[in-house]
Amino acid sequence: MADSRGRFVVKPLAAQSFLADIEVTPGKIYTVGRSSCCDLVFKDGRVSRRHCQIFVDAENSLVLHHGVEKGADICLRSSVVYVNSERISLGSSRVLVPGDRVFLVAPVKDSIQDTGFTVENAGESSDAIRSSLEELEMNVQRRQVKSKADHLGPSLNCKVKRVKASVEQLIDKSRQLRSECFTRNSSLENLAFVGKERDLQEVEQIGGDTKVAGCDSFPKSSGLCMNKLEDVQPSRTDVSVADLLAPLEDIREMFVASFTTDIIWFISSFGLPKTLPVTIACHDSERSWSTAISDRMEHPYCEWPNLKVVYPPFPVLRRTNDKSRMRGVGCHHPKFFLLKRSKDIRVIVTSSNLNYRQWLQVSNTVWWQDFPLRNTRDYSSLFSSKITEGGERNGDFAAYLAGFISTLVKDVPSEAHWATDLACYNFSKATVSLVASVPGFWEELLPFPESMKELEKSYLGTVATTVAGISHQFSPKCDPNGLRLRKLAALLNSLPLDPEGMVHVQLKRAKDLPADPNAVVISVVPPTQQLRFLEQSDIVSQAEELPIGFLPKRAAAWVSTLCDAGLCSWRAMLWPKQVLGVAAGQSKSVVQLGLHVFEGSKFGELLTKDQESAMSNLLRHIQRKYGLWRLTEVLAEHKWPDSAEVDFVYCSSSIGTSLNSNFLASFSDAAGRKASLDDSCESDPEWGRWTAEHEAANPSIEVVFPTLDRLKSAKWGPSSYRGILCFPERTWERIKSTSAVNLHDAIPCPPSREGIPMHVKVAQRRFKSPTSSQAFGWIYTGSHNFSPAAWGKYVKKAASNDDEYQSPCTRLHICNYELGIIFIDPPPTYQDDGDSNTTKQQNHGGIDSFTLPFRVPAPKYSSLDRPATGSAIFQLVQQLGEGQRSVLNEAGEHEGVSLSDVEIDTQEPEEDDASSSACL
C-alpha cells in the first residue's frame, strides 16, 4: 500500500498527458480543480474550481477528500468524483492505493478522453524505472562497452560486468512492474465504467439489433420533450443527448449549432468515433466579427481530424457600440443538431447549449423528428416557391432549413453540402414549421411579376441584388456628349412598367472579359426585341441594346457557375427611376435589381463541389422572411379568433432591454392579434393592426419570468441562475411603475423540476371554441429569447425620392442568428354570421397533449414581487447567512460561478438589445 516514506506520485490520465505529474508528500494538502490556484489544474468545464483535495495522513496513507475543507465546515457541491468505478459521496473521504484511478467526471467505458488522475508510489514509478533504464542503456552505448572492453584492461571489464548486471536487474524489475500494471489495468477496464449521469447510456448490441440500454421509455416518434436531469426522476418523454444520438453506429455525419460549446465534453462523453465527420457552428466574439475568411473555420483537435468548428459571420453594415473594435451587437444563438444516418436524417431543435450543465442540470426543451431518405435527390424541395406537379407549392421546412444552414457556412465552401444534401431527404411529413432569424436589415420581398406567370412552374425564387458600374458607364469620361444617357432615357421611357413600377432588362454572360471571367452584363433592350433567359447558351448582342452595368463580382461568381452548368436560368427587373438618377449623377444610392431564378435544362443533376458551393449561395440569397415577418407568414395561414383566446404566454430565460409597448405590439400583431375594426379608421394605413397604443391600454401577452422569491428555493442557490437568466435592472426600473408589461412568475413544471433553473424559450397562444371544449392554437419553442435582438425591430427608412418605389418604407432589423419551431393545432372553420361566429366542427387536436415546462396559468406578479435581475440576485446572496452563502458559493463553483463572480448589471451597453447578446 503506502511506502514507508508516504510519498506518492499523481499522474494525469492520457487525455491530460500534457499536464505535469505531482509528487504528494506529507505535511501539505493538495487541491485539485479548474482554478489556476489549484495544485493540479484541469481546464475542463465539468470540473469545479476547487473539486477535491488529496493529502498524506499520519499513517502515511494517501487520502482523497471530495470537497474542500474550510475550518470546521465542509463545503459541499454537486460535483462528482469516482475512484475506479465507485462514486464517492459528497463530503466523504477515501484512502487511495497505487494503481487507483480517480475520475473528476463520470467515466465512460473504453474512453481515452476521461478527466482525472492515477496514483503511484513515488519510489516505484514505472516512469522513473524506465528513465533510469534508458539512461543506463545510453551510458553503455555511449561508452561502447562491448567494443572497448578488451582494450581497457581487467578493471574496466569488471566495471562493465557490474553495469550489465545492474541493467539486467532493472530490466527484470521493469518487466515485473509492467506485468503488475497490465494485470491491474485489465481488471479495471473490465469494470463497467458507465457514467452515473442518467444521460450517459451504454449502447449495446443485442441479437443484431442496436438498442440503448436504459432507454426503454425513449419516445419512438417526433415530439416536444424535456431534457433528462441529474437526480430527477425522468418522465416518459424526457430525452438525453445519448438518447438522441442512438444508435451511434448509424450516424454518418453530424452538424451541431450552439451559442456556447464544451466540445471536449461532447466528443468524449458519448463515444463519438474519431473519424466521424462533425461540424460545429458556434459563436466567437473575435472570429465572428473578423473580416478574414481564414477565421471562419478551424480544426481545433488533431486527434479528431474530421471535427470542424465554424464561426458564422455577421454583416459589416451592423451598428457598433465599440467603434475602436468595430464589433456589433448580436450573437450566433441557434441550438440544433442534424444527424445524417443510413436511412434518414434526424433534426433536433432545442433550447440547450452544447455543454454538460445545460443538458444535465438546467431544464430545456427538445423537439426532434426523423425524415426518410429519398430514392433520388430532389433539389426543387429546397425552394419553397416551386410549384409541384399537383399544382401546390412545396412545403417550406426543407427550404428554410437549407437557407438557414447556408447562411452559417457562408464563407466555408467545404461545408456547403450540408445545405444541398437536404435534397436527399423527404420533409413532406414535417409536423412543425421552422422560424429562423438571420442578422441584417431585411426589406419586404420583391413580388413575382405577373408578366412571367407562364413561367411559374419552373420558378425557384427571387434574389435581391444590385447593379454595379452605372456611374462609370455614364460618366463624362465614357459618355462626354451624353449620347448614351439620352439613349438610356429613351429606352427606359419606351418600356412597359409592371404593377410595381419595374421594367425587364437583359442579362448576358461575358466570359471573355479580362477583368472578370465570371462577369454578367446587364443591358436595356427596346420593347421590340425579345428578352431571353440568362442560361447556358450565350446570347448574341444586338445593336439596339444598351449595356448599363454588371452584376456585383461576388454575386456573379456563383450566378455564372450555375448558369454555365445549365442548372439555373435567370431574368432580371429594376426600377427605371433609380437607374436614371444614378446615371445622371443626381443620386448616389445603389440601383436595386430583382433577379428571378428558374430551373435550367440540367437542374436536378448531381452537383460538383463548386456547384454545391454555388447552389448554397443561391439558397442563402433567395428571398425569405425572418423573425417577426416569418412568424406572421406561418400563422397567417389560419384565422385566429381573438374572442376565443384562453391564454397568450411567453416564457423566456432572457428579456431584452427594449421590452416596451412597441415590441410587445409588434409581436402580438405578428401572432395574429387584431384591433377592433372601426369603420371610421379605415383610411388609416394601420387599420386593424395591433399597435403600441392598443398594447399600452390592454396588454396582450403574459411575460413569464421567475421572481426573486422563486430563486430562494433553488436547489443550488440563487447564484446557480447566473448565466441562465437575464433581466436588465434598468428595464425593471423603467417598467415597474407602469402596467404596460404583464409579468407572471415562472414555476417549473412538472413539480419534480421545481428549484432547478429553466433555460426555456416557449410561447403559447391557446384558444377554445365557444361551442366545444376542445382547445386549439400554437406553440413556439427554440432559441428565440423575448427580445428585438432575436425577433427583429421595425425600422423606418428615411424618405427620399429614391425610395418612391417602396411602400411602406419599413425594414426589419435583426441582431442574432436564431432557430425555432412552431407547432400549429389549427382552428375549426369560422364563418361570420352577423356579430357572432359559428363553428364548424373539425377533427383536430394536439395542443393540450403538450405539457409546457412552466405552470399555466402562471401567477401574476404581486406589488411586492420583482424579477430576478442580476443585481437582485447579488443582493439576495448577500442577505443570506454566512453558512448558507458558503454552501451556495461552492454549489455555484461547480458551474464556474462564485459569489465574487456575481456582478451587478449596472454597466450595460448602450445598444438597446445588447443584453440579449450576452445571455445564453
Please list the active-site residues. Answer: 759
Per-residue exposure over 276-306, b if at least 16 CB sit within 10 Å of its own CB, e if not: ebbbbbbbbeebbbbeeeebbbeeeeeebee
The C-alpha cell at 81 is 468524483
> 736 among the known binding-site residues?
no
How many angstroms separate the CA atoms of 219 and 225, rounded? 9
CB 521 within 8 A of CB 534: no
| All three cell numbers of 793 | 425591430
Whole-angstrom distance, CA of residue 895 vs CA of residue 49 = 9
The DSSP symbol for 725 reads B
* Residues 812, 666: Cα–Cα separation, whole Å: 11
- CA dist 397 and 428 (Å) reads 8
Instruction: Give the CA angle between residues 865, 866, 871 to the nearest 5°.
Output: 145
Distance CA 2, CA 57 (A): 11
Instruction: Please provide the size of the chain in residues.
Output: 920
Q: Which amino acid is at 251?
A: I
Residue 651 in grid coordinates: 416564457
In sequence order, the β-bridge partners of residue 54 are 30, 64
Closest CA to 34 of 19, 24, 56, 14: 19
Q: What angle is formed at CA 632 by the lines to CA 627 and CA 635, rounded to 5 degrees?
A: 125
User: Is the distance from CB of 758 to CB of 747 less than 8 angstroms?
Assistant: no
Tell me the helices (H) and strands (E) count for the chain, helix number first: 22, 43
Take residue 212 and report the three cell numbers written for it.
440503448
- Give the distance, in angstroms, between the CA of residue 298 and the centroid of all CA atoms in the same chain: 17
Residue type, 782: G
Contact 647, 856 (CB under 8 A): yes
Name the nearest CA neighbour of 268 among 103, 84, 88, 110.
110
Distance CA 854, CA 844 (A): 24
Give the number of other CB atoms < 10 A from CB of residue 5.
13
- Of 69, 92, 70, nearest in space to 80 by CA: 92
DSSP state of 838: E
Cα dihedral 835, 836, 842, 845 sign:
positive
- Residue 659 DSSP one-character state: -
Paired with 779 in beta bridges are 764, 823
User: From the annotation, which residues make up the binding site for substrate?
Assistant: 761
